[in-house]
Structure 1
């Protein structure tokens, strides 16, 4: 019998990699079962490796490589790859039923595979969010009104949306990392077309979020206010750059026509920015054929792939993506409705926003503290209520819908503030759901053996064994519940991220081989650590960076509206933002170091609850943002944005060492003090 791994995403392939690494002398028969046309190989390196002196650092930079089945077989010749879907699991007989979908076999063929050990790393599917019927959520039907972004196939559908001249209004619902990148992709894709396409094809985007700020999954209000204004600047720079290119092209064209030359001029293709996702390690970009339908979720930096696919080679600027976009104020539009946060493109007029016929426009509007309560597709007379509504919300929506009967020539969405939005496409980016995938893999009979955790995930113990299914069934990645690790480790919490999928896969392989204690590989669950990039701004998140596991007072603090990303007078005073408006906050005096280096940093502290918890923040406008959460004198969480990521190694050591920092107070974040040398 064999060791079987189900799932070809980051977690599943990480299990395979570690199994092979430690079984060279005593080889096992290893089988990977995956329905995907693309498998995900994760490679990691320590963040800031040139400066990182902490050998045990938890921060890793992950690069995702896309492998076709043939490439996977070539790279892992000792592993049998079975292209198919598990439809039934029987722990009592140690077998799984697989429906094969390999092109070399009959699509209706099936196979029974016996296992000695099995690991489920099946990931998750997009959550239906407000949709009353999950079947409405389509990742493959390009004609569907509702869309999602999860894998390479759905990125192709997003590309089709941006090129469809019949689609003039797109609504995006969701407030996580994927939603942010989708909006970024939509707004910049329009600018990335050539001049004629931009003139004749204008798309407006409405972004509906239920929170008071954007990106609440991984950011706080200050970080959001610090990062997101780059959209405005990026869009303007793209427009200006392309306009210059168009003018240059016109000049060249006129010059050529005046010379009466009949020679064809061969345009030199502009080199594209190298992408980390799918890079083969030799600096070569993946060919377009890699953007084919796949089942595994997208890796980090998927937007680079989308941007390269949508940019016009003759007009794209190789430098525009590399310029620093963080120069504009938070919002350039002062006449929009309160509660909105808009990023106007050049020539934006709030009163003309609804006129989608307007030439040269294409605008983004963000609707805060709202959610979809009902919607109807084009040609349908009756609205459908959204899922997850309270009784009051249902009643209010039904009353509002009474006056909206009759077929319409565009799809419509009813928001909780009673606004009706006409649109041509709805993109749902409301997280992921593991329960559906697990149900389909276990089957009705097999499901009786497994204990389920949060959101339908598989409950696992400290050795990643599935609780209730005996000692031979394991799970890793998005489909498992790590609540046992959260209870034992104060600074750890589970999030469905690539960094965690990688370490879970590696650790699970060690557990399957009985090597976890020998390798002490559970160290990676001591503290949450993740680094990523939002709109080209580096972000490092450590521990309880948004006060996770710390109760309601902290949640209220994180969820406030604006943040401290603004100039504040030296020595303190009244500020708005993360603290309540007009609330007095202690401020550290930060005198100028010299005439040519004025102090623009703002350091503040705010006590939460009974005073045992306080938050230190430092903002250097347009450059960096630091937040430290201190509880009982120890730093238990940190968020570092922009240039502040250089503090990541120091903060990690402070947190892991449980150093008491009460005596330092403001000095912990004073940028006139070399805090890393202080602790060395």
Structure 2
């Protein structure tokens, strides 16, 4: 054990992303004193006088002695600890300087700097950041390599993908009013690694390349990366070349690796006995507690290992990081005060609101028929360039929905999923645009 314990806090929260900040806010309202490690902002200290922020990464955790050691050699004790260290990018390669992962505010700024001089980039990946990037980048040719048959398959089916694709072929419209959800931005540069990206990460960043064109995106489907090399091919003039499994090779200024994240469990595992899930996350129960006493976890670093509600699944999205952080804070306080705490209602129904290709996107429940096998049917309504509505029914009851555009159906559908009303009698009329469905089910 290095060094003497400098101070013992009732609460220590590790991580300054959305989960960590939300956890801090929840606990600070209730109790007197605690501490935050890694990637914080002074805004919180001004808001909560009982909060001490320490600008340093955690070097090691000692669960037996209830203490953490920071990178600058200081040691702090805790009564309750919450790990909110997020996820780290699954980079295609660690070695190549021409491969850039985008995960936090720092790497987003580095991306902006490189993009300003770029004429062509290759984006690899099919998740949220890839979807946002290919749409937001202008003045630069974009080759987009996805391993699936359609774009965005984490979030929607091939039908929704077909609805969105034309947006890549036209100039971006002027910014519309934002969709109704909280905004998350970074007030100031954080110390150490940047905080994880919220949904508005590209707001205020000029994603402009070196060319005069507005947007040129070509999608390479069902392929992965075979090889990345910086050796100049004959007559080659690009800094890096990427060979795909479909046999095509592209030269570009740099490659963006946007292939998802893995739970950022370093440096907590060494010397401790955390139970880990198959995906590498720290296992947590329905009180957000890990297998180590008095240690909680929230957000991308953890895996929800309680029996899930039939309409909920973990997806490591910013909305869930916020919900888990808030609930973990509540659990920590309740346990200190010996008060019972019930699993929060937000874990009853999966719901996520975001924006892709300038369309509001709402995902509810088992929106892609997750885990339902062939035991479900789909109803779809699509108006080109305006809206895409998909409903997932199982046994005549609504279990999921995808809403793209200003449909105003999310509240009604949320209620129909939660109350599990039998909708058999409505059939396809459920999506008849001439019927005001809200009147039926208010």
TM-score normalized by the length of structure 2: 0.89
Could you tell me whether the CA contact under 8 Å between 1:123 and 1:477 is conserved in 2?
yes
Question: Residue 156 in 1 paired to residue 93 in 2?
Answer: no
- The CA distance in 2 between the partners of 1:292 and 1:204, in whole Å, is 34
When Rg is computed on C-alpha atoms for both structures, the one with the higher figure is 1
Gap regions ≥5 residues in structure 2: 1-7
Residue deviations 1:579-600, cap 9 Å, x none?
xxxxxxxxxxxxxxxxxxxxxx
Q: Identify if the C-alpha distance between structure 1 residues 291 and 444 changes in structure 2 by more than 3 Å, giving closer, same or farther.
A: closer
Deviation beyond 6 Å, 4+ runs, structure 1: 271-276
Question: Residue 671 in 1 paired to residue 438 in 2?
Answer: no
Could you tell me whether the CA contact under 8 Å between 1:171 and 1:425 is conserved in 2?
yes
Task: Write the mapping of 1:254-653 to structure 2, written as runs, cut at 5 A.
Answer: 277=183, 294-307=193-206, 363-379=216-232, 410=238, 411-434=240-263, 437-440=264-267, 442-446=268-272, 449-467=273-291, 469-470=292-293, 472-484=294-306, 487-514=307-334, 520=342, 522-551=344-373, 609=374, 612-644=375-407, 646-653=408-415
Residue 16 of structure 1: SS of its match in structure 2?
Answer: helix
What root-mean-square deviation, in Å, do the aligned CA atoms of Structure 1 and Structure 2 show? 2.9
Following superposition, the deviation at residue 457 of structure 1 comes to 0.6
- The CA distance in 2 between the partners of 1:452 and 1:214, in whole Å, is 31
Question: Residue 88 in 1 paired to residue 60 in 2?
Answer: yes
Following superposition, the deviation at residue 628 of structure 1 comes to 0.8
- The CA distance in 2 between the partners of 1:443 and 1:208, in whole Å, is 34
Residue 54 of structure 2: SS of its match in structure 1?
Answer: strand
State the match for 1:227 in structure 2.
164
Residue 57 of structure 2: SS of its match in structure 1?
Answer: strand
Question: Residue 661 in 1 paired to residue 423 in 2?
Answer: yes
- The CA distance in 2 between the partners of 1:465 and 1:291, in whole Å, is 28
- The CA distance in 2 between the partners of 1:231 and 1:362, in whole Å, is 8
- The CA distance in 1 between the partners of 2:305 and 2:422, in whole Å, is 27
State the match for 1:53 in structure 2.
none
Following superposition, the deviation at residue 290 of structure 1 comes to 5.0
Q: Identify if the C-alpha distance between structure 1 residues 483 and 233 changes in structure 2 by more than 3 Å, giving closer, same or farther.
A: same
Residue 206 of structure 1: SS of its match in structure 2?
Answer: strand
Q: In proportion to residue count, which structure has more helix?
A: 1
Q: In proportion to residue count, which structure has more strand?
A: 2
Could you tell me whether the CA contact under 8 Å between 1:635 and 1:655 is conserved in 2?
yes
Following superposition, the deviation at residue 362 of structure 1 comes to 6.4
State the match for 1:177 in structure 2.
128
Could you tell me whether the CA contact under 8 Å between 2:185 and 2:201 is conserved in 1?
no
Between stretches 523-532 and 218-227, larger displacement belongs to 218-227
- The CA distance in 1 between the partners of 2:128 and 2:184, in whole Å, is 20
TM-score normalized by the length of structure 1: 0.59
Q: Identify if the C-alpha distance between structure 1 residues 148 and 78 changes in structure 2 by more than 3 Å, giving closer, same or farther.
A: same
Task: Write the mapping of 1:120-199 to structure 2, written as runs, cut at 5 A.
Answer: 120-128=83-91, 130-131=92-93, 134-136=94-96, 144-164=97-117, 167-186=118-137, 188=138, 190=139
- The CA distance in 1 between the partners of 2:177 and 2:203, in whole Å, is 8
State the match for 2:4 in structure 1.
none
State the match for 1:14 in structure 2.
22
Question: Residue 32 in 1 paired to residue 36 in 2?
Answer: yes
Could you tell me whether the CA contact under 8 Å between 1:151 and 1:293 is conserved in 2?
no
Could you tell me whether the CA contact under 8 Å between 2:185 and 2:198 is conserved in 1?
no
State the match for 2:5 in structure 1.
none
- The CA distance in 2 between the partners of 1:479 and 1:630, in whole Å, is 32
- The CA distance in 1 between the partners of 2:316 and 2:332, in whole Å, is 22
State the match for 1:596 in structure 2.
none
- The CA distance in 1 between the partners of 2:282 and 2:192, in whole Å, is 27
Gap regions ≥5 residues in structure 1: 40-68, 101-109, 137-143, 191-202, 239-270, 281-285, 312-355, 380-403, 552-608
Following superposition, the deviation at residue 233 of structure 1 comes to 2.2
Residue 392 of structure 2: SS of its match in structure 1?
Answer: strand
Residue deviations 1:37-56, cap 9 Å, x none?
xx4xxxxxxxxxxxxxxxxx
State the match for 2:150 in structure 1.
213
- The CA distance in 2 between the partners of 1:124 and 1:135, in whole Å, is 20
Following superposition, the deviation at residue 527 of structure 1 comes to 1.0
Following superposition, the deviation at residue 464 of structure 1 comes to 0.8
State the match for 1:114 in structure 2.
77
Q: Identify if the C-alpha distance between structure 1 residues 625 and 273 changes in structure 2 by more than 3 Å, giving closer, same or farther.
A: closer
Could you tell me whether the CA contact under 8 Å between 2:380 and 2:391 is conserved in 1?
yes
Could you tell me whether the CA contact under 8 Å between 2:184 and 2:199 is conserved in 1?
no
- The CA distance in 1 between the partners of 2:212 and 2:12, in whole Å, is 57
Could you tell me whether the CA contact under 8 Å between 1:466 and 1:475 is conserved in 2?
yes
